[in-house]
């Protein structure tokens, strides 16, 4: 198992322990993390939960989707559906947990890492933290509750991050609502000891938040109605990086992600956003650019995806249509 799950003092402790893989989240890890939360939910000896990770490079750089890719290539689309379904249920359990969850997020925090740390009640970041939802670069959409977080970012930051996959430093992450407290990483070990001893988040004290460049950036172009209009509204001189990303990423993923971030603004609970995300990801290995994106970025690493699925409004609507009996539902009240 690539998680160290234990109790220490008054804290439930979950540590990612595969730093060489940038602590990528596998299906088994998602299930184990959810089980641990369930075990501690009504345990009076556990006052709070601390989630952290080994290694300096990443808290969790995303989901471990190689198995989903290989199964999809072989015609098995159920393995991916099972992974995403269980991962999203774990994400919802974190968001709704009745006890404090403190996440210490260093280095890369992307995709599935945001699904773990980004929904904790107390989200701690440091100087090395880089948070992103880069899924449009692999033919997917911001999932794991990412559309919910993006939809609540100020102004048009959500659309910008969804389409470009841009990385946020600590100041931007707090400004955009993906983190809560900036605390230098040298202080984290002592803070974790204090949390274990006291079982009280009152020991957390944030420092002055670093600058947030996104707060001063004109992203009004990302309020345009569709990706083509956004591209036309961007200034080639000032927004060269954004334009390059919009040229590089999957057109279908960007069109769907834009629709989903805007739809999530009307959601009352994160579970609604997760269910909408599952409609896309449940179909991803069979009906989207996902397999080609993973091939290009993760398997062959040629960084030259040949996007082939047209980004039409009807195509986006079909990918986001209800799944009938396969719909991600929340009968358990989560």
Catalytic amino acids?
A: 63, 112, 135, 143
The count of C-alpha atoms lying within 13 angstroms of the C-alpha of 271, restricted to the half-sphere facing its C-beta, is 15
Report the greatest alpha carbon distance in the chain: 58
Provide the pairing of β-strand 11-16 with 48-53: parallel
What are the backbone angles phi and psi of residue 172, rounded to the nearest 5°? -65, -40
First to last CA, the chain: 26
CA 85, CA 230: separation in Å to the nearest integer?
Answer: 32
User: Residue 55: exposed, middle, or buried by beta-carbon count in 10 A (0-12, 13-18, 19+)?
Assistant: middle
């Amino acid at each position: 198992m690539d998680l160290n799950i234990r109790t220490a003092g008054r804290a439930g402790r979950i540590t990612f322990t595969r730093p060489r893989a940038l602590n990528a989240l596998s299906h088994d890890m998602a299930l184990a993390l959810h089980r641990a939360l369930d075990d501690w939910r009504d345990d009076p000896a556990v006052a709070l939960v601390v989630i952290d990770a080994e290694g300096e490079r990443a808290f969790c750089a995303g989901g471990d989707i190689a198995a989903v890719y290989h199964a999809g290539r072989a015609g098995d689309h159920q393995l991916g559906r099972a992974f995403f379904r269980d991962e999203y249920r774990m994400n919802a359990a974190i968001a709704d947990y009745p006890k404090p969850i403190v996440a210490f997020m260093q280095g890369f925090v992307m995709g599935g890492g945001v699904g773990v740390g980004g929904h904790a009640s107390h989200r701690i970041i440091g100087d090395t933290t880089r948070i992103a939802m880069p899924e449009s670069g692999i033919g997917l959409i911001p999932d794991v509750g990412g559309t919910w977080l993006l939809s609540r970012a100020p102004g048009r930051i959500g659309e910008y991050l969804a389409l470009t996959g841009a990385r946020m430093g600590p100041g931007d992450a707090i400004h955009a609502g993906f983190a809560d407290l900036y605390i230098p990483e040298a202080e984290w070990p002592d803070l974790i000891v204090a949390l274990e001893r006291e079982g009280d988040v009152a020991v957390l004290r944030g420092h002055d938040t670093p600058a947030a460049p996104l707060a001063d950036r004109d992203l009004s172009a990302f309020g345009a109605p569709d990706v083509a209009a956004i591209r036309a509204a961007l200034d080639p001189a000032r927004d060269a990086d954004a334009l390059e990303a919009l040229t590089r990423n999957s057109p279908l993923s960007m069109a769907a992600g834009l629709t989903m971030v805007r739809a999530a603004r009307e959601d009352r609970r994160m579970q609604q956003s997760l269910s909408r995300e599952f409609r896309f990801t449940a179909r991803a290995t069979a009906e989207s650019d996902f397999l080609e994106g993973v091939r290009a970025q993760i398997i062959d690493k040629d960084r030259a995806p040949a996007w082939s699925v047209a980004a039409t409004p009807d195509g986006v609507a079909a990918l986001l249509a209800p799944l009938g009996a396969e719909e991600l539902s929340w009968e358990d009240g989560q």
